Amino acid sequence: MRVLAAMSGGVDSAVAAALAVEAGHDVVGVHMALSRNRDQFRTGSRGCCSIEDAGDARRAADVLGIPYYVWDLSERFEDTVVADFLSEYEAGRTPNPCVRCNEHIKFEALLDKATALGFDAVATGHYARVVTREVTSPGPDGTVATSTVRELHRSPNEAKDQSYVLAVMGPVRLARAIFPLGGFESKDEVRAEAARRGLSVSAKPDSYDICFVADGDTQGFLRSRLGARTGEIVDASGEVLGEHDGAYAYTVGQRKGLGIDRPASDGRPRYVLEVQPTANRVVVGPAELLSVDRISGDRAVWLADDVLATASGDGWFDAQVQVRAHGTPVAARVRATGADDEGMEVELVGTTLRGVAAGQSLVVYDGTRVLGQATVQRAHRAHRAPARPTDPTAAHTNAGTGS
């Protein structure tokens, strides 16, 4: 196959490209320049897309003996991933930019461009597995039809598993994706593989946090783009406790940096319960009001038509759900909603989740298999809160912990 290898300049993508070459594919390396103002060097493990990263990717491609190109996708990245990040926070929601990057850049812009250029697949350094199995079904005239199904599964390296951020890619793009690191059980194995192949990035630090917020100051980034907007911080009953510079800088479940000088009367810590963007108000309260037992999602993407087809008469099926990249999956009942299964309803079974915010990615699993993904639209509290002031748009854009 002709394979386009996405090479970030890190060890994972370099080893993934090497394994694609070793598998006998005709491989071309490409580095995606996603920043409009690239620095010469990264700041430790923060940030990406520096000139240093592009150079590291080029050197890896030279060692592998494959062609190498740099594609400028910075405008697309700014107009999709960064714009979504800003608009979601401005709407009182909590986005996951890594999910949107995989959706709009790596498995939309990159894969679509690769397909247009005649490549059969894109290889990336993600930690996830693709499992292929044969499925038989009754055909016309009593015949039996056999088809091949590709399933997305967790990586055996639980600490690095990235199936959560890949779930949004959908079955069509999954069919053209290769994850050569799927079988590795530890990052040390990957680094050893890189060293054995003479790749200079074998000891390069991992990047982390939000790549386009290189200094790690998310609130500062939001303030620089959205401006300061003074508003109230109130408790669940509406009593004013303090002021903030912008409700967009707060997220459901946040405890630190609330800017409240007065301790709670019972001495217990306060958490952000809700962000009301229209009123520019932040609601805080005790931890028990963060617990939710039902979640509604939209923009659903399904990777398991077989599971949906065999669900009960009312559409419910048993699964596990996860609401954070490295969160713990919990038991739930799940069903698709809407005419085109574009929605999702989740009822947690025998447990609750804390601090679920609108805008987060909700991923559904059956063991290691990814069944689907949706964006949290609303999370429903397991415990009632006292009456409080409401935001006219709360049903659509609040932080998702309404009763």
All domains in the chain, ordered by first residue: 2-203 (3.40.50.620), 228-403 (2.40.30.10)
Catalytic residue check, 101: yes
For residue 113, is pLDDT > 60?
yes
pLDDT of res. 387: 53
SS3 327: coil
| 47-56, 206-215, 331-340, 379-388, range with the lowest pLDDT | 379-388
Rg of the chain over all Cα atoms, to the nearest angstrom: 23
Entry pTM: 0.88
Render pLDDT for 321-368 as a digit per residue (tens, 0 to 9).
999 998 999 999 999 999 889 999 999 999 999 999 999 999 999 999
13 touches 57 (CB < 8 A): yes
What number of H helices and E strands is found in the chain?
A: 12, 18
**244-271 average pLDDT score:** 89
**Token representation of residue 334:** 């799940």
**142-146 average pLDDT score:** 79
* Active-site option among 48, 49, 98, 211: 211
How many Cα atoms sit within 13 Å of 263 on the Cβ side? 5
pLDDT of res. 396: 38
SS3 110: helix
For residue 272, is pLDDT > 70?
yes
152 touches 165 (CB < 8 A): no
* Active-site option among 48, 49, 98, 101: 101
